Amino acid sequence: MKSSEGERIGFVKIIDPVLAKGNVEEWLKPVEEVMIKSIKDVIDKSNLDYTKPGQDRDKWVTQWPGQAVLAVSMMKWTSQAEEAMKKSGIAGLEVFYEKNVKQLNGIVAVVRTNISRLQRCTLEALIVLDVHAKEVIDTELLKKNIASPTEFGWLSQLRYYWEENELWVKITNSTLSYNYEYLGNSGRLVITPLTDRCYRTLCGALFLTYGGAPEGPAGTGKTETVKDLSKALARQCIVFNCSDDMKYDQMGKMFKGLASCGAWSCFDEFNRINLEVLSVIAQQLQTIQNAIERKLIVFKFEGCEIPIKWTCNCFITMNPGYAGRSELPDNLKALFRTVAMMVPDYALIAEISLYSFGFTNAKPLAQKIVTTYKLCSEQLSSQDHYDYGMRAVKSVLTAAGNLKRKHIDQDESEVMLRAIKDVNLAKFLSFDLPLFKNITSDLFPGVVLPEPDYKAMMDCIQNQLKLRNLDGPPYFIEKIIQLYEMITVRHGLMVVGDSYAGKTSAMAVLAGALSQLKELGLMEEMKTHIQILNPKSITMGQLYGLTDPVSKDWTDGVLAVWFRVLAQQMDSKERRWFVFDGPVDAIWIENMNTVLDDNKKLCLNSGEIIQMSNNMSMIFEPADLAAASPATVSRCGMVYMQPLEMGWMPLVYSWKNNLPNFLVRDEKNKEIFLPAIDEVLEVMIQPLLDYMYKECKMTTPMNEQNIVMAFLRLWRSLLKVFENDEYGDDKDKKTNIGIIDSTFLWAFVWSVCCVVDTQYRRPVDLYVKKVCNGEIDNLKKF
């Protein structure tokens, strides 16, 4: 077996598909059985290896598969803790606590060394479990003076036992089997008191053959807790994003598959499904739960006889009170045990995550992250795209972990400050930036960040700007760099801002620069492809796909087709950006919640789930997020671009490069005409714009850039006289400049009259006529 992380585990028995009779399922069933036997075998062998005299735990953890390391570590922790309590009581626990601290410090020291990516993944997950194991001994037992294995403080913990050659997981009065499903070498969720409480409820529900229903606001860890519990019990968990288009027959197909393979399902945003469909789902789930209670091997489901594995179960997550959500019917509520998920302990999660990344100064740095977001929420303005929840904290932690791996010996305060700035600077409005910088300077006094080395990228960006006839003001360059830094941290991001803020150009320039870096072999970058789609230009059925009501055939939508194409080559060393250029609202983007969170999967109503590739990014390009729900905003990284900061001069720069040949034919003409054009633009446009905004009333309010661009296009059309090949240089210089001046005036009047209210058009028009008739000789007076 080979996992997506590159981990390999040998089978205990070889399956030869050539010798198998029948279809593909006939030989895949033995493969599944051998997979379970192989995982059980490797756990058993690693357990025996752990108990060898003189075995060094720090070496042992790097020699076995991650899943076996975590399972055996939890088994040993459980047995050694109970042995210490039985033999020596509190004194034994104190000695065992010191042993836990020593083991944890040993693993953290290994993480800081130059180890492989696969080993690092195992150790980061092990540190998360080791920290929790240490805290349980200290907080739940020693501080509460508990020294008996029969006390609730100990029984309420997730404990692992190897009994009768089988691994069992126990919590409170629930005993659950370890399923030996191979889950690869993935990370584990940081366990907080909230997670513990959720585990107790969910495991109790499982023991009584009920489902679990975590509910709460966005970013509280509902889905991740269910997924982590499935890893703890080695069970396959399929996360599916529900939509209001789902029908009971589609859900029935999924339930048949879950019952047959014994897997868990986690239906995200379950209460988005229509009420009439939910009532039928309740009957379907009741049938499955009854079959498990009666310990049936085969049961009847919707007219079919199908096999059932008793480990199958259904979990649902809900965001109560959000738009487009419905209340669950009572017959469905009765099949689930509800868990209220509150705001988690950010500081604890950050601290343990930083430990797992190899930070020594984890606790104060974690407090600084939490304090930064607390002060930002209190002091900065309130915007639709600002989010200071758990996902924002996790982004900072991810960025800090990436930087720590690149710069192992750099000061940890510098690494953390750099991570906080990289993730957050891009989303703040210009008037919030000074406040944010003051907050970070107060929390990190005296910390000065070294300038990142982007010399090679800056050269490629400047080259791309020339190729695309674009100006490169410092603000625009800064936003391109912020966009790059955000893409390295988040796979889903939004580039927010009004038109003419440079959103599309920034993405195009960055994609071109990254591709050029790949060609030059610099910065280990990848060639970048962009696919653009306007999601509001088509219906929901055309976007995601739809089922024919008569034939029941499924037809993929545009998004489904392109997503599959971009995700196909999982190992390809190329970046793929799927850009949604259009308004964001809860109608269409809620179906992408599982794409934007850690699952990275597109769930179609046909039941198909398409996994994103590692080098794929989902980029949204809206003007604002007024209609987006908190569930969507918290899942995306943000880069905010303001037209006001860009100004209108970059538009003029690009426009001047397309002037008629006569005006720029030779150096003599350039010296005559370009200064005249520059004077007209620089001296007159801004005062006229100021006059419009202060004294006139606009019928359609718009940015300065829109007006300037309309004016430049009109003026360019009036300068067509200079494109005539017969237009000679012998024309009087004063006449040519007069033409330029008069065409400027008419172009500006036309562009102004399109947007200002009727009462302001007449005086402007009369004034320009006076200028053209020579009654007013100096343009600057105008």
How confident is the model at residue 9, as a pLDDT? 93
Chain mean position to CA 412: 25
Instruction: List, in order, residues 6 or more apart from 470 with CB less than 8 Å away.
Output: 505, 509, 650, 653, 654
- Mean pLDDT of each 10-residue bin along the chain, 782 residues long: 89 84 81 93 93 87 92 95 90 92 90 86 92 91 90 92 92 92 90 91 93 88 92 93 84 91 90 86 92 92 90 88 71 90 89 88 92 93 88 90 86 92 90 92 89 88 93 92 91 92 94 92 86 92 88 89 84 86 88 88 88 91 88 90 89 82 67 71 74 76 83 79 62 64 68 63 59 50 42
How confident is the model at residue 757, as a pLDDT? 64
| Alpha-carbon span 396 to 447, nearest angstrom | 18
Q: Which residues pair with 77 in a beta bridge?
A: none
| Alpha-carbon span 63 to 43, nearest angstrom | 12
Q: Which CATH number fits domain 346-443: 1.10.3720.10, 1.10.8.710, 3.40.50.2300, 2.10.10.90?
A: 1.10.8.710
Please report, for residues 124, 195, 361, 471, 775, the alpha-carbon distance to residue 356 in angstroms, rounded to integers and kept in the order given: 5, 18, 12, 44, 78
| Alpha-carbon span 74 to 80, nearest angstrom | 10
How confident is the model at residue 16, as a pLDDT? 82
| Alpha-carbon span 227 to 188, nearest angstrom | 9
CATH topology of 189-344 equal to that of 455-646? yes
Instruction: Please give the structure tokens belonging to residue 206.
Output: 């499982």
- CATH fold for domain 455-646: Rossmann fold (3.40.50)
Question: pLDDT of 182-195, one tens digit each?
Answer: 998 888 999 888 89
| Alpha-carbon span 598 to 355, nearest angstrom | 21
Question: pLDDT of 506-555, one tens digit each?
Answer: 999 999 999 999 998 887 888 899 999 999 999 999 999 988 888 878 89
Phi and psi for 264 in degrees, rounded to 5?
Answer: -95, 150
First to last CA, the chain: 79
- Domain ranges for the chain: 1-166, 189-344, 346-443, 455-646, 649-781
| Closest CA relative to residue 383, chosen from 497, 499, 504, 493 | 497
How confident is the model at residue 322, as a pLDDT? 61
Instruction: Please give the structure tokens belonging to residue 52.
Output: 């060898």
Q: Which CATH number fits domain 189-344: 3.40.50.920, 3.40.50.800, 3.40.50.720, 3.40.50.300?
A: 3.40.50.300
Instruction: Please give the structure tokens belonging to residue 668.
Output: 């003599």
Instruction: Please give the structure tokens belonging to residue 177.
Output: 């089997």
Give the three-class secondary structure for 772: helix
Question: pLDDT of 372-420, one tens digit each?
Answer: 999 999 999 988 889 888 888 999 999 999 888 888 888 899 999 999 9
pTM more than 0.95: no
Residue located via tokens 């960006």 = 461
Please report, for residues 470, 516, 651, 654, the alpha-carbon distance to residue 665 in angstroms, rounded to integers and kept in the order given: 21, 32, 22, 17
357: left (phi over 0), alpha (psi -120 to 50) or beta: alpha
Q: What architecture (CATH level 2) is domain 649-781? A: Orthogonal Bundle (1.10)
Does domain 1-166 fall under CATH 1.10.30.50? My reply is no
